[in-house]
Structure 1
């Protein structure tokens, strides 16, 4: 798509141009627009004046005129979403607070190296090591986000790519982006409407406006003028992004690109800010606190050591090492990769997540605002009940595949035959990857499928009884009639439509093939049957017939003195997996609010079928009622009703509801597939779009796309999101607990007067990136626990570092710190060398700091084993049940051994070889940590099972 400003092109009327006046002249001769016409008035104009107002002609534009308008108004497409280019996206990875702190630390370390006299190569190694950490974290984060976005970009766009246009009287097929205002577009059933147009010809034309309004019903269109009013309600206009489901017509383009109604929603979507996920907010807060503590601690230690006579630069590097010890360098990379594991798991469950942090946000979802058509339902009307001769007949099967049967089909065969003959739709068999589908009105498609299930060959019936006349459906009569010639040369009319309207024109009812006069009792029976079907949430159609005198009788004769054949009840069936998914959400404490543009009765019927509504009196609120509520009233509505259905709503209504829910502290997921859903999808904490049936605008606005369009995938994704959050806490405990083991020995050495550090900054980086990242990732890849959906969502304001998490970090980190302090000072004191005589090259000192580093690595291996569960014993969960964790821990220990024994690494880290007895001592400390953690869990389990009074 082109990014040029011309994307905002539209008809001259949108610019307020005042061209010359003049009436329409010869057909095909261009005419000038009237100066007194606004865009909103186009629907109210007679057809000849439409061409005049739009500066067009019935024969269409000439190539020269079209080229001039193309240059003026630009292509007929939406502005390309401002995708961040590669370099800015990569640069954004360095704005994370951890990255900023480390970059500053690296720069200061380079400066310290330059000021040192003599210069210490270890300082330069530290500077490069810190810089390497930043680059590694940025590379991992960039690679994960770029990979997810590239996958999302592979989805197909919805806006049509080609259309049929009259140019200088000739019918041509052109790319839709080449359309300009005043082009004459030819429309047929099955076409996608390429721009906003005013109809000038319409033969039984009907469109599906679900992408714009959310309503699944086909809407009849006319070419006649209509009174001025809201543009979307104009019955003689069709709009970009909608579909023609029946009939044919011609229309004049009056708005293109971003000036269309589709474009208006696009702009509304673009203006909606992308909400930060709860994890983004908590990680940002955590980074601020950790960075603040690290800087403050380093500054305090610097202030303490400088007055004691330590060299200024050495003291500064020492304080810098303390700061580095407190910053979890491996956390950004670990977090990114762990979230990426969640992304891949969700992708295997047909849920594409475009932003890594959205994985966790799914787990905290407390409210799902769901669309109806295409999300909860299959968008395939299906006849499920037939009524004839006082008896109901069930129809099995759902969707457009003619698979199923009609119970006792004999008495309803004539009903279905008449209904099928009085249809313009066509049932299309499977082709390639596409299954059965309907070309035309979905209601008529449902009747054709029901006829096929009853064993009728509709094509043969049409050939045997050809149609000779028809009277299309209109919203005034609420009826459609067709006239057919029977094989014996007589004529019969078939009529279908609204039950009450049709019943008022009947004077007989069919009883076993014989017309019987329609009495008050039998009329009441029919009304009761229709009400019963409607009470089940079904759309009801009545079908009747009568003999007529000739092939083209007047409408009054066709639609009077009819014989009622029966009733058909149909509905848009829910997806079969939705009910279980709704049950799982409700069991998990997630509230489901239906937000749809459809009729309240239809919405309630679907909500009951899928389990969203279970009580007798749900709260049903229309968009007009929402307009009457102020923010306080809306808050009260959302707080006071457990079962809430919002119907006939606009995109603005959806956004307002989402904002109100967020204001109440809810984490809101919004599902949808139409362009009308896009603003709310973007404004929500989690926007969930449909991948197969969704619009391009909806998919772009969402952070998650369901590739199978299944609501059930949302439930699975929420469970995986909760599991990811649990795993994040596990590896946070793992990562931060060893920070205590790194910091405490430094503090102890400072206050004990030891002149050197027990562990260097380079050693800390080796632990954080070499020994800790892989076990942390293995903890992040723990599988989803079975009870993850059996608890309510956590509060939006619940901190990642809760009291329980901090307590566990201090408990495990404290044990590790005591162990490494013990081995360090034991080595130092056992040597008998005074503190002041130790230097960096002293073998005892090198052995001592090697023991500290190895002690942290070994104890972290046991810490990882203990951290897999919160309360359950790790031995019951299976000590070796996570082989990736065992392998990662062994790798860390092997790396530590290499640092201890390999001469090149000894030179970098200033380490020394450890004796077997040293490793045995360290393993003993690690086993002690595991035993202490298992004891803590036992106490927690004991307290949970202990009865009141303290006795078992």
Structure 2
């Protein structure tokens, strides 16, 4: 159509004119028609007025982000130490250039950590953007009379949008067609109750947010269906106006981040207290004030795990990226942490455990059972005795909104809409029906959309001057509304014996894991007939049984969850026998005998919340079938009341409450609604249960990797600190390791290996262990015990070699000076022993119980490379004269290195013995 050039910009429309116009007149206001815009006009308006997107809130500048890295507590401690050391240099007489070097070195460590943190934050933002792009919001619109799916960002004023339950409204619109349509305006009004919508004109005196014929960007369709014409897009919407007024909010910190912050405070306090104590001990012994003060600062630096903030950020970012590669997109870092402790997964059936590629394989009519051949959505196959099956398929096909799209650009047959409806359309095509021709012959003049309460869908059609209601839905619900059945002799009364035969046929198909739909018809008085009349006194035409085969990877995933101590419970709206058959096939029901099957009717009746908790706390298998969204919510709440950590899957708008209530809400990325994806913290791109199991495994490995590098960092801190303490209380006048060496260790042997540990793959058997307890703390006694054990070995080795080397010189302690060659060699041996110990320690901490021989020495090549870089830096410090001057070191002889490597490897040998004893103990218990 030709659009007048005076069409105003999106959002500048006269809202009063829009809401007061009759449905047919609205199109004139926006320059459109009931068939929607042409593709060319849509492209023209998009180019002129821009995309339907909200402006991004002002982001922090890169400089501000970088400076924000210096607010970390460890960074603050190091900055203060650097400032004090610089002050010591400036106030000293004569000035000690070593203090200046130390101040610069500490500042360099802080800058390095800030750079790593800044880089990870930037990468995390880019990952989040990529995730948004991978799950785009779509909208169904009419373009030239054809229903198509377009990115929501490409909506323009005048587009006619098709709305169904579960959709997010992507622009401000005027409703022009409504069938029990209701929306949830909570994002605009704060009221969570659904509000009915109408296509009728509304008085201009009604406030725009109260106009019942308008829907707004950001709201959701709670029920029903309809059509609406776009009147405002992007920032020219009501939601865009509010969005511009909304200030950026600071995201909540995850429990893990809070634990790290708490630990940092304790470590900083302990470092400060220890520095003060040692300053107080050494000063009365006659040491110079400035040197004693710098010594105390060195002790503080030795206590601070400088690499922790950077390695924590890297481990989290690596976990998110790994999950994305496994088709699981995590929207919140807290999900990475929580996934590792999941104890129960409540899963849907269709699409999650199965392929969601429905294929009708069997039809039942009063005449006979018909076999349908062919699989998938290609119309290749046949229907046995097609003449007696044609009517049930014709009526079913006309009662469908889905479309089956032919192959295009190398893709196979695709479905636009519900896969169950697509299966009916394909079966009709196999029976020789031209569905498009049938639609023209019997046009739809009304509909009563499907909802989860009545489990039916009805469409109203006119044909040869008569009006018919076509109804399809759950066999139990539809059969209760039927009074007749169609046979070869015509329509006959549906007596009790015949009802029993229909239910038996339904049970046979459901017991074979087929999803069953019943199809019925009734002649009605006209298109204005109410829903109650249209859906009662029906004539049953037959049953359609369709197969949705289990995903092949799900069986192994369910078995993996069972080994991991994770309980899997099916919670589905499907028929009980169908659900039970699939649950047996994939291994959810493992116990012999029939499971306890709980239906929605049971939850509405005899099973109250207390009885539900008792049922879930039992040891037998439980399966929930024919449940409504509120029932799913009750199941999740009951499990959480029992102390379980619950992950729950969902794809519809009505699943949003359960997704929010769960510890981990998991939405379907391919078939889920916008509302479900917004409510969830994790989105599965492939909709597969196997991706949940993979995400749990990765979540456990992320948490384990964080514990690994905590052990790694704190164990070597003990190795640095112990020689200093021993020397102080033994009366040795000099330090066994100076602050510059500590920083060199922290940079060369801390950060890179710790980052490599953050990238450690899940270790063998991670899914054979039970979930960690909800109350388990990251900085637990088991972690402290482990780094004390490993750190004590490193500390003993470094201290022993230092004093042994001094002893070989035969010089009393009080005769040693900082320039003494023997002292500088001992100083170097202390540093080298800690570096080499950390090299072996990195292999040790890769597992709490598995031998490094099982893990493979080279299975984490990044870790090997990082360790060798640390040793290379140590060699440079020992042998290069410029670095010798900076670090007060001396070259080590081959014999010295043999001693260093021998003592450094003790940590690996000792822990291998501990692991062996632990495994033997586990084998005998």
Does TM, normalized by the shorter one, top 0.5?
Answer: yes
Cα contact 2:428–2:435 (8 A) shared by 1 = no
* Structure-2 change in CA distance of 1:30 and 1:692 (3 Å): closer
- Counterpart residue number, 1:857: 835
Work out which of the residue numbers 441, 450, 453 in structure 2 matches 1:467.
441
* Structure-2 change in CA distance of 1:503 and 1:617 (3 Å): closer
- Counterpart residue number, 1:427: 404
**Structure 1: how far apart are the matches of 2:664 and 2:522?**
52
**Structure 2: how far apart are the matches of 1:262 and 1:398?**
46
Cα contact 1:544–1:566 (8 A) shared by 2 = no
**Structure 1: how far apart are the matches of 2:533 and 2:892?**
106
- Counterpart residue number, 1:335: 312
Query: Following TM superposition, by how much is the alpha carbon of 1:208 offset from its aligned partner in structure 2, in angstroms?
Result: 12
Q: Given the alignment of the two structures, is residue 136 of structure 1 paired with residue 112 of structure 2, yes or no?
A: yes
Deviates more, 1:861-870 or 1:520-529: 520-529
**Structure 2: how far apart are the matches of 1:624 and 1:259?**
42
Q: Given the alignment of the two structures, is residue 828 of structure 1 paired with residue 812 of structure 2, yes or no?
A: no
- Counterpart residue number, 2:3: none
Q: Given the alignment of the two structures, is residue 279 of structure 1 paired with residue 256 of structure 2, yes or no?
A: yes
CA offset digits 1:587-635 (Å, max 9, x no partner)? 4233457789x79989978995877678744566799989x999x9999
Q: Given the alignment of the two structures, is residue 898 of structure 1 paired with residue 876 of structure 2, yes or no?
A: yes
Query: Following TM superposition, by how much is the alpha carbon of 1:199 offset from its aligned partner in structure 2, in angstroms?
Result: 3.8
Q: SS state of the match for residue 772, structure 1?
A: helix
- Counterpart residue number, 2:845: 867
- Counterpart residue number, 2:486: 509
**Structure 2: how far apart are the matches of 1:557 and 1:678?**
32
Cα contact 1:277–1:685 (8 A) shared by 2 = no
Q: SS state of the match for residue 789, structure 1?
A: helix
**Structure 1: how far apart are the matches of 2:782 and 2:796?**
21
Work out which of the residue numbers 717, 739, 746 in structure 2 matches 1:739.
717
CA offset digits 1:566-589 (Å, max 9, x no partner)? 222458777664555444334423
* Structure-2 change in CA distance of 1:184 and 1:364 (3 Å): same
Cα contact 1:687–1:701 (8 A) shared by 2 = yes
Query: Following TM superposition, by how much is the alpha carbon of 1:328 offset from its aligned partner in structure 2, in angstroms?
Result: 1.3
**Structure 1: how far apart are the matches of 2:239 and 2:128?**
25
* Structure-2 change in CA distance of 1:303 and 1:680 (3 Å): farther
Work out which of the residue numbers 351, 354, 365 in structure 2 matches 1:388.
365
Q: SS state of the match for residue 845, structure 1?
A: helix
Work out which of the residue numbers 498, 511, 516 in structure 2 matches 1:523.
498
Query: Following TM superposition, by how much is the alpha carbon of 1:760 offset from its aligned partner in structure 2, in angstroms?
Result: 0.6
Q: Given the alignment of the two structures, is residue 566 of structure 1 paired with residue 542 of structure 2, yes or no?
A: yes
**Structure 1: how far apart are the matches of 2:752 and 2:535?**
78
Work out which of the residue numbers 684, 701, 708 in structure 1 matches 2:686.
708
Gaps of 5+ in 2: 1-10, 33-49, 188-194, 203-207
**Structure 1: how far apart are the matches of 2:380 and 2:183?**
26
- Counterpart residue number, 2:282: 305
- Counterpart residue number, 1:924: 902
CA offset digits 1:57-110 (Å, max 9, x no partner)? 6743699xxxxxxxxxx9986675676554444344333222222222222222
- Counterpart residue number, 1:25: none
Cα contact 2:425–2:435 (8 A) shared by 1 = no
Query: Following TM superposition, by how much is the alpha carbon of 1:764 offset from its aligned partner in structure 2, in angstroms?
Result: 0.7
Q: Given the alignment of the two structures, is residue 938 of structure 1 paired with residue 913 of structure 2, yes or no?
A: no
Query: Following TM superposition, by how much is the alpha carbon of 1:705 offset from its aligned partner in structure 2, in angstroms?
Result: 4.1
Query: Following TM superposition, by how much is the alpha carbon of 1:870 offset from its aligned partner in structure 2, in angstroms?
Result: 2.7
Q: Given the alignment of the two structures, is residue 101 of structure 1 paired with residue 69 of structure 2, yes or no?
A: no
* Structure-2 change in CA distance of 1:416 and 1:681 (3 Å): closer
**Structure 2: how far apart are the matches of 1:856 and 1:914?**
15
- Counterpart residue number, 1:362: 339
CA offset digits 1:374-396 (Å, max 9, x no partner)? 65666666545421235444656
* Structure-2 change in CA distance of 1:140 and 1:830 (3 Å): same
- Counterpart residue number, 1:788: 766
Query: Following TM superposition, by how much is the alpha carbon of 1:298 offset from its aligned partner in structure 2, in angstroms?
Result: 0.9
* Structure-2 change in CA distance of 1:58 and 1:929 (3 Å): closer
**Structure 2: how far apart are the matches of 1:247 and 1:621?**
25
Q: SS state of the match for residue 541, structure 1?
A: strand
- Counterpart residue number, 2:726: 748
**Structure 2: how far apart are the matches of 1:115 and 1:602?**
85
Cα contact 1:395–1:407 (8 A) shared by 2 = yes
Cα contact 2:481–2:537 (8 A) shared by 1 = no
**Structure 1: how far apart are the matches of 2:798 and 2:397?**
84
**Structure 1: how far apart are the matches of 2:387 and 2:284?**
104
Q: SS state of the match for residue 543, structure 2?
A: strand
- Counterpart residue number, 2:795: 817
* Structure-2 change in CA distance of 1:904 and 1:713 (3 Å): same
Query: Following TM superposition, by how much is the alpha carbon of 1:300 offset from its aligned partner in structure 2, in angstroms?
Result: 0.9
Q: Given the alignment of the two structures, is residue 60 of structure 1 paired with residue 29 of structure 2, yes or no?
A: yes
* Structure-2 change in CA distance of 1:563 and 1:668 (3 Å): closer
Query: Following TM superposition, by how much is the alpha carbon of 1:473 offset from its aligned partner in structure 2, in angstroms?
Result: 4.0
Cα contact 2:445–2:461 (8 A) shared by 1 = yes
Query: Following TM superposition, by how much is the alpha carbon of 1:752 offset from its aligned partner in structure 2, in angstroms?
Result: 1.3
* Structure-2 change in CA distance of 1:533 and 1:109 (3 Å): farther
**Structure 2: how far apart are the matches of 1:568 and 1:772?**
65
Summarize the alignment of residues 368-379 of structure 1 with structure 2, pairs less than 5 Å apart. 368=345
Q: SS state of the match for residue 386, structure 1?
A: strand
- Counterpart residue number, 2:47: none
- Counterpart residue number, 1:887: 865
Query: Following TM superposition, by how much is the alpha carbon of 1:501 offset from its aligned partner in structure 2, in angstroms?
Result: 6.7
- Counterpart residue number, 2:893: 915
Deviates more, 1:927-936 or 1:570-579: 570-579
Query: Following TM superposition, by how much is the alpha carbon of 1:334 offset from its aligned partner in structure 2, in angstroms?
Result: 2.9
Query: Following TM superposition, by how much is the alpha carbon of 1:742 offset from its aligned partner in structure 2, in angstroms?
Result: 0.9
CA offset digits 1:689-730 (Å, max 9, x no partner)? 544455667667765443334332121121122123333333
Q: Given the alignment of the two structures, is residue 322 of structure 1 paired with residue 299 of structure 2, yes or no?
A: yes
* Structure-2 change in CA distance of 1:625 and 1:281 (3 Å): farther
Deviates more, 1:632-641 or 1:145-154: 632-641
Summarize the alignment of residues 435-454 of structure 1 with structure 2, pairs less than 5 Å apart. 435-438=412-415, 444-452=421-429, 454=430
Q: SS state of the match for residue 775, structure 2?
A: coil
* Structure-2 change in CA distance of 1:405 and 1:142 (3 Å): farther
Q: SS state of the match for residue 299, structure 1?
A: helix
**Structure 2: how far apart are the matches of 1:243 and 1:449?**
29
- Counterpart residue number, 1:113: 89
Cα contact 2:485–2:541 (8 A) shared by 1 = no
* Structure-2 change in CA distance of 1:426 and 1:661 (3 Å): closer
**Structure 2: how far apart are the matches of 1:622 and 1:736?**
57
- Counterpart residue number, 2:704: 726
* Structure-2 change in CA distance of 1:506 and 1:881 (3 Å): closer
Gaps of 5+ in 1: 1-8, 14-28, 34-46, 64-73, 167-172, 213-218, 948-952
Q: Given the alignment of the two structures, is residue 124 of structure 1 paired with residue 93 of structure 2, yes or no?
A: no
Query: Following TM superposition, by how much is the alpha carbon of 1:320 offset from its aligned partner in structure 2, in angstroms?
Result: 0.9
Q: SS state of the match for residue 509, structure 1?
A: strand
* Structure-2 change in CA distance of 1:759 and 1:82 (3 Å): same
Summarize the alignment of residues 600-619 of structure 1 with structure 2, pairs less than 5 Å apart. 608=583, 616-617=595-596
CA-based RMSD:
5.8
**Structure 2: how far apart are the matches of 1:288 and 1:659?**
36
Cα contact 2:378–2:426 (8 A) shared by 1 = yes
Query: Following TM superposition, by how much is the alpha carbon of 1:519 offset from its aligned partner in structure 2, in angstroms?
Result: 6.9
Cα contact 1:148–1:354 (8 A) shared by 2 = no
